[in-house]
Amino acid sequence: MNISHQEVTVFLLSISVLLFLARFLGEMFNKIKQPSIIGEIFAGILLGPTLLGNIFPEIHAYLFPKTGAVPIAMEGITTLAVVMLLIVSGLEVNLSLIVRQTKTAFFTSTFGMVIPFILGFVPCYYFPHFFGIAPDSERVLLFALFMGTALSISALPVIARTLMDMNLLKSEMGMIIIASAIVNDLFGWVIFSFILGMMGGKKDGIGFEQQLMWIFGFLVFMFLILRKVIDKALPFIQKTFSYPGSILNFIFILGFLAAALTEYVGIHAIFGAFIAGVIIGDSSHLREKTREIIHQFVTNIFAPLFFISIGLKVDFVANFDLPVVLIVLVLAFAGKVIGAGLGARLGGMNLMESLAIGFGMNSRGAMEIILGLLALQAGLIQESVFVALVIMALLTSMLSAPAMGYFLNLSKRKSRLQDILTHKNIFILDAESSGDVLSTLAAKAAKDTGLSQEFILQELLDREKLLPTGIANGLAIPHAKLKITFPVVLLAVLKKPVDFKASDNIPASVVVLIISPGDESELYLNLLAETVTKLGDPDRVEAIAACKTTEEAAHLIKSFTA
């Protein structure tokens, strides 16, 4: 009996209160089209020492005692929660999409790491007294190394959740951001554990060279061996043991084990959990029902408990030092947005997409706070710097979603047909029926939007039933309005014409699929009008239909839409 009767009461009560306020504000932020994670972190600030602790200190002390079993039990829960969240995030990663983005991810992560590191290191090394460190102290180098690392590390859980909330996690851009963040954080943690080792603050665990070997061995084992074993094992488990019980267990047993291993090696537990999620989620034998059960339970019950716990840790008013906060903010924003953005641009994205990626990578959160706390305990930073890091982590996380949305809009929403309908979106199809065409295009659209093919196809078929979308002259323009942030236009040249029930009875030989954000009727009408006026002429349809290769068609369409 480690927890007393009275502590059990407080423990259950405070979980109930935390869950309520976190999810309530989360839902409220959802209503104003913000990711719910912001509401959940904000709920922590309201319930933490900053507000509740200052206004009703007795209630605060009762609900969140600082001594005894409750804070330890609570940290046990939030540790499990963040590990579970990363397992779920891993399950949703599309490995083949990441592999396709290697080049962009490489540039994004390299620049998104090096530039923030320099921006963090240089001022801290040359002006340590500004951050409360004596200039002649032997710790200046360590301090500067720490600040460089703290600014260059991302926050995988925050980024993954933000992308999930924005419905972007499974999209191409989401995968670039996730892939870059993984690489970033892996390096960041290695450097950080190296700093801790130099400070003598790391008393257990293993040496630095060994650590690198462990990580390398771990990644090789997970991706090259265990991934294939799991793909073979899942059908066996599902057949031999109870379903979905045994699969749920398998996922968490493996996830916790991998988490324990990476934590042991000195990288944070969440990496192992994330990688375990990725390699299990990669198996085609993992059923949708299993994912759904885990996803719903973890994102709705455990993730909020983790995010609200961040705000509970500090008093943001008492330890507030404006100049330090501002400098840290400027360095953090500049370093990550410029660094990751520049990397994405060099990796082949357009300017607005690069800025969106820059802000996507800019999210800090849990990681900085954990790092900051370790550094504070080791006497490496002052409390004012710690508060600045926390505020920076929160602001970067809070601005991530709106800024991404804004630049994605600039990049995608306001563009005209010629910008959206690039050669990547043009296909030559050999289809038997309109259903065939729609199914193939829905599969392509699924990759761009992060929605499922089945869902998109259903929407398209429903729309088709309502009113056929064959226009005239052999052109058909199926469309759907979905919950996405930017429009997708795909053009299919059909090798043999297929009936789309046009009023002139001419079967369609060119099909333009328009998927537009549900709340943007005008955008859809503009795209439709542009498609009809620029491509709808009988001669032009015929010319496009005669194309034999995608390049030829793309060239021709460019000449029509320019």
- Assess 479 for contact with its own copies (CB under 8 A): no
Minimum CB distance to its own copies, residue 247 (Å): 9
Contact residue for its own copies among 131, 256, 333, 407 (CB under 8 A): 256
- The length of the chain, given as a count of residues: 562
- Among the residue ranges 97-105, 199-207, 323-331, 405-413, the one whose residues contact its own copies (CB under 8 A): 199-207
- Assess 80 for contact with its own copies (CB under 8 A): yes
From 169, 193, 190, 192, select the one nearest 179 (Cα to Cα). Answer: 169
Name the 3-class secondary structure at 513.
strand
> CB under 8 Å to 113, separation ≥6 — which residues?
152, 183, 184, 187, 188, 339
- Assess 209 for contact with its own copies (CB under 8 A): no
Token pair of 221 as six digits:
């084992």
Contact residue for its own copies among 47, 52, 74, 169 (CB under 8 A): 74
- Assess 425 for contact with its own copies (CB under 8 A): no
Nearer residue to its own copies within complex by CB, 194 or 264: 264
- Cα 38 to Cα 22, 151, 160, 165, 200: the distances in Å are 9, 20, 13, 10, 36
- Assess 253 for contact with its own copies (CB under 8 A): yes
Q: Are the beta carbons of 513 and 447 closer than 8 angstroms?
A: no
> What residues form DSSP beta bridges with 489?
514
- Assess 8 for contact with its own copies (CB under 8 A): yes
Nearer residue to its own copies within complex by CB, 69 or 456: 69
Phi and psi, residue 168, nearest 5°: -110, -5
The C-alpha atoms of residue 221 and residue 230 are separated, in whole angstroms, by 12
- Among the residue ranges 10-18, 109-117, 341-349, 392-400, the one whose residues contact its own copies (CB under 8 A): 10-18
- Assess 249 for contact with its own copies (CB under 8 A): yes
- Among the residue ranges 79-87, 117-125, 144-152, 390-398, the one whose residues contact its own copies (CB under 8 A): 79-87
- Assess 204 for contact with its own copies (CB under 8 A): yes
User: What per-residue string of b and e applies to 513-526 under the rule 16 or more CB within 10 Å gives b?
Assistant: bbbbbeebeebbeb
- Among the residue ranges 22-30, 227-235, 408-416, 462-470, the one whose residues contact its own copies (CB under 8 A): 22-30
Minimum CB distance to its own copies, residue 258 (Å): 9
Token pair of 513 as six digits:
């699929």
- Assess 6 for contact with its own copies (CB under 8 A): yes
- Assess 199 for contact with its own copies (CB under 8 A): no
| Residue type at 456 in one-letter notation | I
- Assess 271 for contact with its own copies (CB under 8 A): no
Phi and psi, residue 485, nearest 5°: -100, -15
Contact residue for its own copies among 252, 333, 386, 407 (CB under 8 A): 252
Token pair of 562 as six digits:
């320019």
Number of residues that bind its own copies (CB under 8 A): 62
The C-alpha atoms of residue 382 and residue 319 are separated, in whole angstroms, by 10
The C-alpha atoms of residue 125 and residue 142 are separated, in whole angstroms, by 9
- Among the residue ranges 226-234, 245-253, 497-505, 549-557, the one whose residues contact its own copies (CB under 8 A): 245-253
| Maximum separation of any 2 CA atoms in the chain, in Å | 85
Residues between 375 and 404 that touch its own copies (CB under 8 A) = 377
Contact residue for its own copies among 158, 357, 374, 498 (CB under 8 A): 374
Nearer residue to its own copies within complex by CB, 4 or 521: 4
- Assess 260 for contact with its own copies (CB under 8 A): yes
Token pair of 207 as six digits:
């040496």
Contact residue for its own copies among 294, 332, 388, 535 (CB under 8 A): 294
Contact residue for its own copies among 57, 217, 245, 379 (CB under 8 A): 245
Phi and psi, residue 313, nearest 5°: -85, -25
Nearer residue to its own copies within complex by CB, 15 or 523: 15
Q: Are the beta carbons of 249 and 280 closer than 8 angstroms?
A: no
- Assess 183 for contact with its own copies (CB under 8 A): no
- Assess 3 for contact with its own copies (CB under 8 A): yes
Full 3-state SS string of 170-209: CCHHHHHHHHHHHHHHHHHHHHHHHHHHHHCCCCCCCCHH
- Among the residue ranges 256-264, 339-347, 437-445, 489-497, the one whose residues contact its own copies (CB under 8 A): 256-264
Token pair of 500 as six digits:
């789309």
Minimum CB distance to its own copies, residue 448 (Å): 24
The C-alpha atoms of residue 191 and residue 198 are separated, in whole angstroms, by 11
- Cα 312 to Cα 63, 76, 464: the distances in Å are 11, 15, 52
The C-alpha atoms of residue 455 and residue 253 are separated, in whole angstroms, by 32
The C-alpha atoms of residue 395 and residue 364 are separated, in whole angstroms, by 8
Element (H, E) at 451: none
- Among the residue ranges 72-80, 97-105, 116-124, 147-155, the one whose residues contact its own copies (CB under 8 A): 72-80
Q: Where are the beta strands (DSSP E) in 167-213?
A: none
- Among the residue ranges 135-143, 214-222, 369-377, 380-388, the one whose residues contact its own copies (CB under 8 A): 369-377
- Assess 135 for contact with its own copies (CB under 8 A): no
- Assess 373 for contact with its own copies (CB under 8 A): yes
Token pair of 234 as six digits:
């899942």
The C-alpha atoms of residue 395 and residue 463 are separated, in whole angstroms, by 42
Which spans of this chain sit near its own copies (rule: CB under 8 A)?
Answer: 1-3, 5-6, 8-13, 15-16, 19-20, 23, 27, 30, 69, 71-77, 79-80, 83, 202, 204-205, 241-242, 244-246, 248-249, 252-254, 256-257, 259-260, 263-264, 266, 269, 292-294, 296-297, 299-301, 304, 373-374, 377
